[in-house]
Amino acid sequence: MIGSTCYSASSFLYLLIVTRLCGVELAGFFSLSYATAQLLLQVGRYGMRTFQATDLDHKYLFSEYKVSRVFSCAAMMLFGVIYSAYSFSGEYIAISIFVIMMKMIDAVEDVFHGNLQQNYHVELMGKMLAVRNVYSAVFFTLLLYFTRNLYLTCDATAITSLMLCLLVNSWAVRHISSRQPKRSFQFSHVLELLKMCTPLFAGTFLSLLLYNVPKYAMSNVMTDEYQTYYSILFMPSFVITLMCEFVFKPMITTIAGLWWENDLKKFVLYVARIIGIIFLCCGGIVIAGHLLGRTLLELIYGVDLSPYKLHFIVLLIGGGIGAEVYMIYNILIAIRKGGCILPVYALTALITILPAKAMVQKLGIMGASLNYLLSCSVLFIMFFAILIWVILKKKKALSH
């Protein structure tokens, strides 16, 4: 919980600090770059974390997971450089590249944490997550405060955070007892991993693309300052999903074990409990957001959000539904039913991307908010229906 809180809070803090110290317009550019970096992070992670954490038979060596992550992170940075060079000019290109590198560190860290979780050391994973994110957030804040130079700050934060990430996580992995297959490294297994996780990567990439469609639609028809307003209003919704990882991420290996042990009753109980807890938490967050959230954001970020009260509630509801989507998505991967993920996201993309620009042109930030809510709702309905179908099919098979 402490590690996930630090991770969630760092995302919140970066936009806050840039808004306060660099102004609304530069913060709008930063928020768009950060959203793109979050999208490209899915290339770096390649949908492999849940697959790795639920590799209960330890079919693949940790070294094979690491080499596959080298390839995916290299691809992430390559796409990041191409995107930045095409989209921006001057110093903005470098800032965008280093913002993407800051998120790449999450992908590097992720492969170490997958190994820790696979070997039931979630507590050690949390410590490493907290150490690295606290350092990155504090370093970023202090350097930007004293220099007021966003390029230098992103550059230095990315490089030093990567060094710290490799140092602390390598130490953590060396100090646990890890089951490993009694064989040598095989490059063919790296290619096999990348091939098997390609549909998972495509699904997660599409999911983030869907959530960022409103931002890109706004960039075509509205000025940078509105990007900042939307990003501030959206941040609590994004944090809801990160915070809900408290509930299900430590349990995902256990859930996979129950499924493969055919303990369907306990599996259903675990899943139902998680869904219920997330709904209760999100309901409380929506109520608190209605009463206090927008006012707190105004005080923290120093901007006037009074015209966007209803927009904020719509985004919070979307965030709660999105957290449920993320949870069911991970469960489907854990029980090796990930083949449905790509078709679900592709269908949702057809439903939500096409009207996005028209919604923003007609309704402004409210159009962007409603498009996000639509994406989350469609995904939840389809994933929940698939999960119920899979459970009923398993129950029928066990009864025979």
Give dist(CA 200, CA 341) in Å, integer: 7
Burial degree of 307 (CB within 10 A; 0-12, 13-18, 19+): exposed
Q: Could you write out the three-class secondary structure of 74-108? A: HHHHHHHHHHHHHHCCCHHHHHHHHHHHHHHHHHH
User: How do residues 296-341 score in pLDDT, each as one tens digit?
Assistant: 777 777 777 778 888 888 888 888 888 888 888 888 888 888 778 8
Round to whole Å and give the CA distance between 318 and 172. 36
Closest by CA to 153, choosing from 165, 168, 137, 177, is 137
Q: If you average pLDDT over residues 178-204, what whole number do you get?
A: 83
User: Which tokens in the block code for residue 240?
Assistant: 């809801």
Give the span between the Cα atoms of 80 and 336, in whole angstroms: 30
- The residue with greater pLDDT, 220 or 161, is 161
The predicted-structure confidence for 25-67, as pLDDT tens digits, reads as follows 788 788 888 888 988 898 999 988 888 888 878 888 889 999 9
Rounded CA-CA distance 34/25 in Å is 14
What's the alpha-carbon Rg for the chain, to the nearest Å? 21
- d(CA 334, CA 331) in angstroms, rounded, equals 5
The neighbour count for residue 98, using CB atoms within 10 Å, is 24
Identify the residue with better confidence: 167 or 283.
167
SS3 373: helix
CA 326 to chain CA centroid, Å, is: 9
Give the separation between CA 115 and CA 122, rounded to whole angstroms: 10
Q: How far apart are CA 29 and CA 176, in angstroms?
A: 42
**243 or 363, higher pLDDT:** 363
Residue 185 CA: distances (Å) to CA of 24, 48, 56, 115, 333: 50, 18, 19, 16, 25
Beta carbons of 134 and 165 less than 8 angstroms apart: no
How many other C-beta atoms can be found within 10 angstroms of the C-beta atom of residue 62?
Answer: 20
121-149 tens-digit pLDDT: 888 888 888 999 999 999 999 999 999 89
